[in-house]
Structure 1
Amino acid sequence: MRFIATYRQVLALLAPDRGVAWFLAFASLALAGLSFLEPVLFGRVVDLLSRTDVMPADRVWMEATTLLGLWAAVGLAGIVAGVATALLADRMAHRNRLRIMHLYFQHVLAMPLSFHGDTQTGRLMKVMLVGTDNLFSLWLSFFREHLTTLFAVIVLLPLTLFMNWRLASLLIVLVAVFCVVATMVVKRTEKAQARVEQLHSRLAGTAQDTLANVMVVQAFTRLSAEARLFGDIMRQVIDNQYPVLTWWAIVSVLTRSASTICVISIFILGTVLHMRGAASVGEIVAFMGLATLLIGRLEGAVAFLARLVFQMPGLEELFGILAAKSTVPERPDALDLPQAQGAVAFEDVGFAYPGGPPILTAVTFTAAPGRTIALVGQTGAGKSTCMALLQRLWDPSSGRITLDGHDLRDLTLDSLRRHIGVVFQDSMLFNRTIRENLLVGRPDATPEQLEHAARMAEAWDFILRQPKGLDTTVGERGSTLSGGQKQRLAIARALLKDPPVLILDEATSALDTATEARVQKALAALMHGRTTFIIAHRLSTVRDADEILVFESGEIVERGGFSELVQMDGRFAGLVKTQLAVQALPKVPEAV
């Protein structure tokens, strides 16, 4: 069954704690043995008391004292083993839950953009939280209860055959009925529960998507529509969940009925055997105790099995994401480049998304250290894709990209991205303090270096005006700041990182004209001595670039300096004329 393979994976995650796990396994075996001894000793005491009329009183007292002392020792040992098992199991489950959560978080962060583009953030969060909670409960219940049940069924149940095989056969039949019923219901419900889990993931993804765009929802009066969409998914969850719940309710009734029938059968058969002299009163009492104990454990096992069926789809989602392979894998012998000079070369690079049309075709250019290269063209021409390939967010479909002569695929991802600084078109800020956002690229920067970078980016003055200065929290995605302020923080962040290769993706698009002029001076100082790539639609910002690459439909159709390209009167000149014509349009007078 699938759930057995999943359960094996759950237990395999405890490999770092295998010593503790083995100790808990031996403790569970001891608990199973001790729990088996208690009803047996009780039956011996009953047999002893039933023979008081044929045995001397002092002998009865001596044997009774011995049995009671042994019984007390067994009970005390069971208490000690139970406390040790519960304590160690709790700590191990908590420790490994957090370890797997951390492992999952690291793994997802390292996955490429192709993975995140196909997977909703809400689903990723739900899988992490629900999956690790399921792991915790399974580990805890396995070592606290169900490993003992397993030992009781596999090891100790056959031992009852040596006590009285007739009465033992009833217990074996009971266990067989439990197994058959549980197997049948698992087969009927596991697919339906998988569908329920998919709907739960869809529910989480829908909620995250709506909350992330709450401004759009409110601005376009989508409150009722989004709530209705959420409610529709909830109804689908209920429609698919109810049949599963019904089947496991039937299992509960059947197992309870089988338990009651088994206890009555043991009493009837035991009475018949006693009348024939084939079973003592003590044996009957012992088997009644064993049956009650085993029934309680089997009912717990069925409840656990039901919970595992409910949790299995979530666990499979967790294991599926943990097993996902990166589309930009790092080679085992990848080079950790200690210091880059900044020489970049694209050699006949082609790229297409999986199953999609070509985005780039035969792109070839070189950027010597300290040179400034501008990439211009219409939206969708391939400029940003080129820079994504340079950061190795994707790998080229053909050709190669090198940094200081090294193929990017031969470098470690950390060392590659450590040498590249980016100022994004959409300045992405964490919901943390200004200080923490600036230190993202250089955590060890001194206060003086941080202030210097902020001043160069024309950000220091507005930082000081914030309620707590550098310790002011900027809100989710920098929601408490204006567009220009966010962009200046992004520029300061790149300045602080001090990389040999710099990518400016519409870095000044959110700034007003006066601030842009000041930041351009700061960027000019930052760009000095670095290999810089400028993606720009505002062509005035690329006038001083050493080389301009004009992209169209994923190809470089023109290249050269600003004046040279204008004189060619080609595509670049057409773009310049278009922008100049737009800027020359008269402003529409305001209505009085």
Structure 2
Amino acid sequence: MLDGPPPSAMGLRFDDDSITKQKVRPGTVRRIVPYAMRYRGLLVVLLLTTVVNAVVTAAGPVVLKMIIDDGILPRRLGVVVGLCLTIAALALVDAVAMYVQTWCSGRIGEGVVYDLRTKVFAHVQQQPLAFFTRAQTGALVSRLNADVVGARQAVTTLLSDSVTTLLTLVLLLGAMLYLSWQITVAALLMIPFFLLPVRLIARRLQRLTRETMQLDAEMSSMMNERFNVSGAMLAKLYGHAQDETAAFATRAGRVRDIAVGGVVYGRLLFIIVTVLTSLTTALVYGLGGALTIEGTLPIGTLVAMVTLLLRLYGPVNQLSTMQVTAMTAVVSFDRVFEVLDLKPLISERPGARDLPAHTPGDAAPEIEFDEVSFRYPSADEVSLASLESVSFRRPERGENPLTLKGLTFRAPAGKLTALVGPSGAGKTTITHLVPRLYDPVSGSIRVGGHDVRDLTLQSLRDTVGVVTQDAHLFHDTLRANLAYARPGATDQELVDACVAARVWDTISALPEGLDTVVGDRGYRLSGGEKQRISLARLLLKAPPVVVLDEATAHLDSESEAAVQRALKTALAGRTSLVIAHRLSTIREADQILVIEAGQVRESGTHEELLAADGLYATLYQTQFAEQAAGEDPQTGKEAAAVPTVSEAH
């Protein structure tokens, strides 16, 4: 049994194309509209400037016709000058309109990007811990970057360009019909030939776009994993730098090949449109020239019609390519909505109440597990296949086995309860359930007599403080990492917490002190230093309930003894639940719970459990006998000269 979520990669097969062949889900376009409608005022201005731009585009050739037919041919200089000034004025108006149109479009597009990014970030933060154990970091980052930016293109294409194109097309066709219905009908007969190739090319480009996004996300994930300190060290220590380069080259080659296909299909569409444009131009010149020779079409009208036709090609080309652009851009929205549609497994009930705030002098709340059974959620419940890997196929599997089975115990208020047991017994799972990182399948967990599912998450997390086995530090200063527990803490409070955690001497010896940047995941510090800083962060928070998940596992005996003294003072009067792998920690416990196969097999004090000669006594002989042999006979504590973990900076 695993003491944590089952690994997601076991039993997976290669070459799963179900992700890249996935179609845009129905209703995606409809869901885009509300994001744009938040900017109604800008949309109105955008629409007005679009009308101005379309009118100017259609009016220019008509004025040109008047210059030739009403000014140049009759030799009326005043009319020519006046109409030329009109064209200049229209050009200025059009320039202002295009500037305002671009500004509004940019504000709307970037506003939608901001709204989506913040919403996706907040939504991802609400996902359960199992989500992050499965999802690739790079894939998540890709959704917030590349996909959200692609969503902006969908907004500008569907709302801005589509309105501009259609309105311009209508006005241009109206002007052409006014000047010559014969030529207009001939031009209209050619338009379907512009639109027919689009459907074939658009579908192919849509799939290529989705596959490119997925592969880009995988490349980003690979870079994130290989470029951090742990990944880089692993590659160097095992001598796999060249293998990693080859694997990256393979993935980059797939992206290259798909990109080439996208360029080819995009260029093919352009070639088809160019050929059809030339054929239509030849048709208009031939028909218009014949009508002019016959005297039924003035020369100015022919020039205006050719100009209108050339301007008509712009909207027609945009209309023919818009479906391709829109369909590929909507893929981005669809991928973003995939994440937003994930339902968080942990959420507050309607009417959830705050856990009563703890003040100094108040009794700490006790922890109760009442017939708690728990299994880790399956992949389909917490994640997306596209966030895990495009190279693997999820196996068909049933529910995960129960990790906890009818677990019942009470951690008394203000007392230290130690959890011991073999690996995979469920100890870490218990510590995850107290701060409600997961919910049990059945049974209830109470803190201070309140079911944790009836409490607000913020008040529960304020009450329960946790130090995990892996002491995580952000790539920031020591000050920022410590103040994460209490943002308004003063420098003196930070120093006091560090002194209590026996780490201030180390920090004060650094050239920049609290302003020292700890590096990626705190790798500029040793394991013991990171653990003591995480303990200082806990002491700064000062919660009434404390959960320590092997919090002293990375400390040598001397550091561990110092931290134990600090914890003994800091945890006085607080309810503590500790996964203990050190004999000194276990002996300090008011209660020891022996966990095996997700159940409490034994409970009592150290002496009581040894006297019972059961599972604890066996664990003592196999796990703690060596520690006991290294104790100082006078103090009963582990001797500093017998380190259990060697640390290296």
After TM superposition, the score normalised by the length of structure 2 is 0.84
Given the alignment, which residue of 271, 284, 288 partners 2:302?
284
Please report how far the alpha carbon of residue 242 of structure 1 lies from its aligned counterpart in structure 2 after TM superposition: 3.1
Aligned to 1:127: 143
Aligned to 1:421: 465
The worse-fitting range, judged by mean Cα deviation, of 431-440 and 411-420 is 411-420
Aligned to 1:339: 357
Given the alignment, which residue of 534, 538, 542 partners 1:490?
534
Aligned to 1:113: 129
Aligned to 1:294: 312
Please report how far the alpha carbon of residue 350 of structure 1 lies from its aligned counterpart in structure 2 after TM superposition: 0.8
Q: Secondary structure at the match of 1:221?
A: coil
Aligned to 2:503: 459
- Is the CA contact 1:375–1:534 (under 8 Å) kept in the aligned structure 2? yes
Please tell me whether residue 238 in structure 1 is matched to residue 260 in structure 2. Answer: no
For residues 58-117 of structure 1, give each alpha carbon's deviation from its aligned partner in whole angstroms, at most 9, with x where no partner exists: xx4555455444434332221221121122323343344334323322222222112112
Q: Percent identity?
A: 33
Please tell me whether residue 43 in structure 1 is matched to residue 61 in structure 2. Answer: no
Distance 1:536-1:155 versus aligned 2 partners, 3 A rule: farther
Distance 1:443-1:363 versus aligned 2 partners, 3 A rule: same
Separation of aligned partners in 2, 1:324 and 1:427: 29
Please tell me whether residue 18 in structure 1 is matched to residue 18 in structure 2. Answer: no
The worse-fitting range, judged by mean Cα deviation, of 68-77 and 38-47 is 68-77
Please tell me whether residue 247 in structure 1 is matched to residue 270 in structure 2. Answer: no
Consecutive unaligned residues in structure 1, runs of 5 or more = 588-592
Write the mapping of 1:354-373 to structure 2, written as runs, cut at 5 A.
Answer: 354=378, 355-373=399-417
Q: Secondary structure at the match of 1:533?
A: strand
For residues 301-360 of structure 1, give each alpha carbon's deviation from its aligned partner in whole angstroms, at most 9, with x where no partner exists: 555655555544444322212332211123343323351552322121111122211111
Consecutive unaligned residues in structure 2, runs of 5 or more = 1-22, 359-363, 379-398, 631-641, 643-649
- Is the CA contact 1:377–1:537 (under 8 Å) kept in the aligned structure 2? no
Aligned to 2:274: 256
Separation of aligned partners in 1, 2:110 and 2:424: 48
Please report how far the alpha carbon of residue 458 of structure 1 lies from its aligned counterpart in structure 2 after TM superposition: 0.3
- Structure 1 or 2: more helix by fraction: 1
Aligned to 1:351: 374
Q: Secondary structure at the match of 1:195?
A: helix
Please report how far the alpha carbon of residue 456 of structure 1 lies from its aligned counterpart in structure 2 after TM superposition: 0.4
- Is the CA contact 1:86–1:144 (under 8 Å) kept in the aligned structure 2? no
Separation of aligned partners in 1, 2:520 and 2:134: 23
The worse-fitting range, judged by mean Cα deviation, of 528-537 and 82-91 is 82-91
Q: Secondary structure at the match of 1:44?
A: helix
For residues 419-461 of structure 1, give each alpha carbon's deviation from its aligned partner in whole angstroms, at most 9, with x where no partner exists: 1111111111111101111011100112221111110000111
Separation of aligned partners in 1, 2:276 and 2:488: 67
The worse-fitting range, judged by mean Cα deviation, of 441-450 and 402-411 is 402-411
Aligned to 2:168: 152
The worse-fitting range, judged by mean Cα deviation, of 309-318 and 537-546 is 309-318
Q: How many residues align?
A: 581
After TM superposition, the score normalised by the length of structure 1 is 0.91
Aligned to 2:6: none
Separation of aligned partners in 2, 1:563 and 1:584: 14
- Is the CA contact 1:3–1:308 (under 8 Å) kept in the aligned structure 2? no
- Is the CA contact 2:205–2:324 (under 8 Å) kept in the aligned structure 1? no
For residues 231-286 of structure 1, give each alpha carbon's deviation from its aligned partner in whole angstroms, at most 9, with x where no partner exists: 22222233334333322221110001111111121111112233445433233222
Please tell me whether residue 569 in structure 1 is matched to residue 628 in structure 2. Answer: no
The worse-fitting range, judged by mean Cα deviation, of 569-578 and 330-339 is 330-339
Q: Secondary structure at the match of 1:467?
A: coil
Separation of aligned partners in 2, 1:329 and 1:166: 66
Please report how far the alpha carbon of residue 366 of structure 1 lies from its aligned counterpart in structure 2 after TM superposition: 2.3
Separation of aligned partners in 1, 2:109 and 2:165: 19
- Is the CA contact 1:367–1:531 (under 8 Å) kept in the aligned structure 2? yes
Separation of aligned partners in 1, 2:28 and 2:193: 24
Q: Secondary structure at the match of 2:593?
A: strand
- CA RMSD in angstroms, aligned pairs only: 2.6
Separation of aligned partners in 1, 2:44 and 2:193: 30
> What letter is aligned with 1:571?
L
> What letter is aligned with 2:586?
V
> What letter is aligned with 2:304?
A
Aligned to 2:114: 98
Q: Secondary structure at the match of 1:14?
A: helix
Please tell me whether residue 34 in structure 1 is matched to residue 56 in structure 2. Answer: yes
Q: Secondary structure at the match of 2:588?
A: coil
Please tell me whether residue 210 in structure 1 is matched to residue 226 in structure 2. Answer: yes
For residues 143-171 of structure 1, give each alpha carbon's deviation from its aligned partner in whole angstroms, at most 9, with x where no partner exists: 76553113223565356434432222234
The worse-fitting range, judged by mean Cα deviation, of 127-136 and 7-16 is 7-16
> What letter is aligned with 2:201?
V
Aligned to 1:590: none
- Is the CA contact 2:138–2:220 (under 8 Å) kept in the aligned structure 1? yes
- Is the CA contact 1:85–1:143 (under 8 Å) kept in the aligned structure 2? no
Aligned to 1:81: 97
- Is the CA contact 2:409–2:600 (under 8 Å) kept in the aligned structure 1? no
> What letter is aligned with 1:268?
G
Separation of aligned partners in 2, 1:5 and 1:69: 49
For residues 156-198 of structure 1, give each alpha carbon's deviation from its aligned partner in whole angstroms, at most 9, with x where no partner exists: 5356434432222234334322222212211233224323332
Distance 1:309-1:229 versus aligned 2 partners, 3 A rule: farther
Q: Secondary structure at the match of 2:405?
A: strand
Write the mapping of 1:516-531 to structure 2, written as runs, cut at 5 A.
Answer: 516-531=560-575
Distance 1:456-1:234 versus aligned 2 partners, 3 A rule: same
Please tell me whether residue 412 in structure 1 is matched to residue 428 in structure 2. Answer: no
Aligned to 1:188: 204
The worse-fitting range, judged by mean Cα deviation, of 147-156 and 387-396 is 147-156
Distance 1:45-1:400 versus aligned 2 partners, 3 A rule: same
Aligned to 2:335: 317
The worse-fitting range, judged by mean Cα deviation, of 527-536 and 339-348 is 339-348
